[in-house]
């Protein structure tokens, strides 16, 4: 993996780590916060390349429509659903209420979050 790709992935992973338990964010939202406008697909790429044993809460990232990206009934869908339910996120027919569960970081989070250090590199 090229250095710039690794650096971008690490920035995405760090942003995902900022999502609090019980909240979700869309791929596009993560890209925007990580400073990668229109980078939703890059977020998906970064998630597919998580290192083995990673503690990044990948399951908190869903589609903008509130749906889980995996096919209903698949092992990945079931795993993501189980993890979200364990954090008290309600799922109905593979959909999450984005009005209720969408992560809405405030200005302080943007300015002082740990991932803000990435912007200085």
Query: Quick one: pLDDT at residue 117?
Result: 43
Rounded to 5 degrees, what angle do the CA atoms 39, 113, 22 make?
Answer: 75
User: pTM of the full predicted structure?
Assistant: 0.86
Query: Quick one: pLDDT at residue 121?
Result: 43
CA-CA-CA-CA torsion sign (84, 5, 54, 106): negative
Residue ranges of the chain with per-residue pLDDT less than 50:
116-121
Per domain, the residue ranges of the chain are 3-99
When the candidates are 1.10.10.370, 1.10.10.10, 3.30.429.10, 3.40.50.2000, the CATH number that belongs to 3-99 is 1.10.10.10
Query: Quick one: pLDDT at residue 11?
Result: 93
């Amino acid at each position: 993996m090229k250095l710039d790709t690794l650096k971008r992935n690490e920035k995405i992973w760090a942003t995902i780590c900022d999502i609090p338990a019980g909240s979700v964010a869309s791929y596009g939202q993560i890209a925007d916060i990580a400073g990668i406008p229109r980078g939703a697909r890059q977020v998906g790429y970064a998630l597919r390349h998580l290192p083995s044993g990673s503690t990044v809460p990948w399951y908190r990232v869903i589609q903008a429509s509130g749906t889980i990206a995996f096919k209903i009934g698949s092992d990945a869908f079931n795993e993501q659903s189980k993890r979200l339910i364990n954090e008290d996120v309600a799922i109905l027919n593979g959909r999450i209420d984005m009005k209720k569960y969408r992560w809405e970081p405030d200005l302080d989070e943007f300015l002082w979050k740990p991932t803000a250090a990435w912007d200085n590199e």
